[in-house]
Chain A
Amino acid sequence: MEILGIPIQALAGQLLLGIVNGSFYAMLSLGLAIIFGLLHIANFVHGAQYMVGAFVTWMLLQYLGISYWWALLLAPAVMFCLGVAIEYVFLRRIYELDHFYGLLMTFGLLLMIESIFRYYFGSTGLPYENPLPGGINVGFMFLPYYRAWVVGVSLVVCFGTWFMIERTKLGSYLRASTENPEMVLAFGINVPLLLTLTYGFGVALAGFAGAMAAPITNVSPTMGTHLIIIIFAVVVIGGLGSIMGSIVTGFALGILEGLTKFFFAPASTTLVFVVMVLILFIRPAGLFGKERP
């Protein structure tokens, strides 16, 4: 089927791929935004945490025979604990310092975590079996079940997170702590605990994204590093100021990337960065940014 000489099947395929990528961009930049909003730490190790999430999923199946569906719950739980531990041991010691130390420390953690996994698993990817094989022909394209599942679940997770932060009591504590932690502390709310839990939640989100990614990409120690740089660009484009902004920007860039892959493939790897440059010229604070540029 062709419209205006464009093969619709191929276009839709790339578009779907773009939406799938966008789901991961959205989930990861969302976690980054939540962590930065409250802890003021640009979590450089976010990509590595996504990678560890994928590895936990792989290991659960490989060593314990635990299926994908349970891993989808267990991997984020494991990552939550890891995040709490990292916050407790490392991050809480540097809250008083300049924000840049957070970036440096998490960069160090990234180097450590990635090197451990490279040492034990090498750089080549490990395959993970698709838990939802097959797909459905929706007329203009073939829709694999698993990709549809990824998009659906990530939408639910993203908007669930948005709802929790913007519309619930716990979320209001969170937002208040972002604005004025001393005041919230004075009202008797345990802000340090809130910080720990928030970091744990952000890391769990990265771990969840990793678990979702395992059947799509090969599970490899380097899968997160390139992604985190893209996520940084996404965050610069969207601004770390708003939750919804991260979600929208993540999906939009994924879709744009998919379209680029179809129309001019060589530019697809650099597209996000080019968009970032353009946005910095047009709107230096980012699309949804509130801070001074």
Chain B
Amino acid sequence: MPVSRNFQIVGWILVAIAAVAAPLVFHPLFAMQILCFALFAAAFNLLAGYLGLISFGHAAFFGVGAYISGYAVKSMNISPEIAIVMGTAVGAAMGLAFGIIAVRRQGVYFAMITMALAQLVYFICHQAPFTGGEDGMAGIPRGNLFGIIPLANNYVMYTFVLCVTGLGLALIYRVVNSPFGMLMMAVRDNDRRATSLGYEIDRVKLQAFVLSAALTGLAGAMKAIVFQFASQTDIVWATSGTPVLASLIGGIGTLAGPVIGAAVMVALENLLSGFGEWVFFVQGAIFVFVVMFFRKGIYGELKGWAERNGGSRPASRPADVSSGPVATMPQAISKSAS
């Protein structure tokens, strides 16, 4: 697969250049926002793209991750790396609770259940005293990494966020390409077959859900340290739509897709920040447009284009779901309802 290979190499070089240049060309905060949301979207996509479970409740993990790490740093004087680990751990624990409940149903029901559970968490956070309720939690200090490296400098902070996001994405890549990743895709494509082979599919779903929730908690925890605040906007229902849209724009079921999608989303949000309500209007319009005309997403289309022009056979690496005909979306859903 020479073309696919070149495509990959070009991709990696572009990624490296972008990672180094981003904080110099754009504002470092903007670059860090992209990274946090990229991890958020990639964690969502781990479930959606490779297991066929579309969660509409990931804002709960993101928001609670942000609240926990913010509270740990601000009110308990804990150093930021421990606070971020705490946010991740709480995300994982919540993922376990959500997962146990939500894997009992699939398809659109799964989406509805995760959304309802996230709303439950939203209400609890709204009433809990430590979150600051309507006002949120502001003025979270960035502190010193490992007690010695001050994160107040945006470039130091950026390097840290880049490393953590990179590790998170690498973990996702590793999982997707592991035997467990194969199993996830087997469950997505034919859950009965996977069951007949002796796998407990609910267990697979649960494990993947916990991992996804933990990474989402990590993204939220990091976001709270970077922007020094955690508020209701991190946990409100609309935030659950962000990773969905980012994955969809970039390409669901691809590894690079959510990252590209997150960059597009954050850029758009910043461009439209002066127009108030219209941000949501444009987001909604993009949702509709992408569903109607652009279901493979940016990365999926690019990849298809590269393969067509190279004349080589479609890549058969199992992780590249986008190269299949329509296989950008879980088939388990349509099967369950038919």
Name the residue on A nearest B109 (C-beta).
A236
Query: By the criterion CB–CB under 8 Å, are B111 and A42 in contact?
Result: yes
A115 and B104 in contact, given A98-B333, A98-B334 (Cβ under 8 angstroms): no
Q: With a CB–CB cut-off of 8 A, which chain B residues contact A101?
A: 291, 295, 329
Of A94, A107, A115, A284, which is within 8 A of B241 by CB? A107
Q: Which residues of A contact B279 (CB under 8 A)?
A: 115
Instruction: Please indicate the chain B residues that have their CB under 8 angstroms from the CB of A111 in the complex.
Output: 238, 241, 280-281, 283-284, 287
| Contact digits for A66-108, partner B, Cβ 8 Å, 1 yes 0 no | 0000000000000000000000001001100111111111011
Residues of chain B contacted by A226 (CB below 8 angstroms): 119
User: If the complex has contacts A99-B333, A111-B284, are A266 and B127 also in contact, measured as CB distance less than 8 A?
Assistant: yes
Contact across chains for A99 and B334 when beta carbons are under 8 A apart: yes
Say whether A269 faces chain B, with CB atoms less than 8 Å apart.
Answer: yes
Q: Which A residues are CB-close (under 8 A) to B180? A: none
Q: Which residues 261-293 in A have Cβ within 8 Å of B in the complex? A: 266, 269-270, 272-274, 276-277, 280-281, 284-285, 291-293
Q: Are A109 and B108 in contact (CB under 8 A)?
A: no
Q: How far is the CA of A107 from the CA of B290 in the complex (A)?
A: 12
- The B contact surface, by secondary structure, is helix
Tell me the complex Cα distance, A236–B113, Å: 7
A98 touches B280 (CB 8 A): no
Is residue B123 within 8 Å, beta carbon to beta carbon, of the partner chain? yes
A99 contacts which chain B residues (CB < 8 A)?
A: 107-108, 333-334, 337
Q: Is A232 in contact with chain B by the CB < 8 A criterion?
A: yes
B330 in contact (CB, < 8 A): yes
Cβ of A150 within 8 Å of any chain B Cβ, yes or no, is no
A175 at the interface (CB under 8 A from B): no
Residues of B in contact (CB 8 Å), total 47
Interface membership of chain A positions 245-261, coded 1 if the CB is closer than 8 angstroms to chain B and 0 otherwise: 00000000000000000
Give the contacting residue for B288; candidates A105, A266, A292; CB below 8 A.
A105
Say whether, besides A105-B288, A274-B120, A114 and B333 are in contact (CB < 8 Å).
no
A126 on the B face (CB < 8 A): no
B111 nearest in chain A by CB position: A103
Contact A280 B277 (CB under 8 A): no
Whole-angstrom CA separation of A81 from B120 in the bound complex: 35
A291–B104 Cα gap in the complex (Å)? 12
Given contacts A104-B287, A109-B288, A291-B336, contact A270 B123 (CB under 8 A): yes
**Residues of chain B lying within 8 A (CB to CB) of residue A90:** 288, 292
Residue of B nearest to A267 (CB): B123
Kindly state the separation between the CA atoms of A269 and B126 in the bound complex, as whole angstroms.
11
Confirm or deny: B94 has a beta carbon within 8 angstroms of a beta carbon on chain A. Answer: no
Which residues of B lie under 8 Å from residue A291 when comparing CB positions? 336-337
- Among candidates B237, B244, B329, residue contacting A98 with C-beta atoms closer than 8 Å: B329
Q: A116 and B281 in contact (CB under 8 A), knowing A108-B286, A229-B119, A280-B101?
A: yes
- Asked if B54 contacts A100 (CB within 8 A), the reply is yes
Across-interface contacts of A232 in B (CB, < 8 A): 112, 115-116
A112 within 8 A of B: yes
Contacts of B127 in A (CB 8 A): 266
Q: Can you name 29 A-B residue pairings with CB atoms under 8 Å? A: A36-B108, A97-B326, A99-B333, A99-B337, A100-B333, A101-B329, A102-B108, A105-B291, A107-B284, A108-B284, A108-B288, A109-B288, A111-B281, A111-B287, A112-B288, A115-B278, A115-B279, A115-B281, A116-B281, A226-B119, A230-B116, A232-B116, A236-B105, A236-B109, A236-B113, A266-B127, A277-B117, A280-B104, A284-B105
Other than the given A98-B334, A266-B127, A280-B104, 5 more pairs (CB < 8 A) read A104-B287, A111-B281, A115-B278, A116-B277, A280-B105
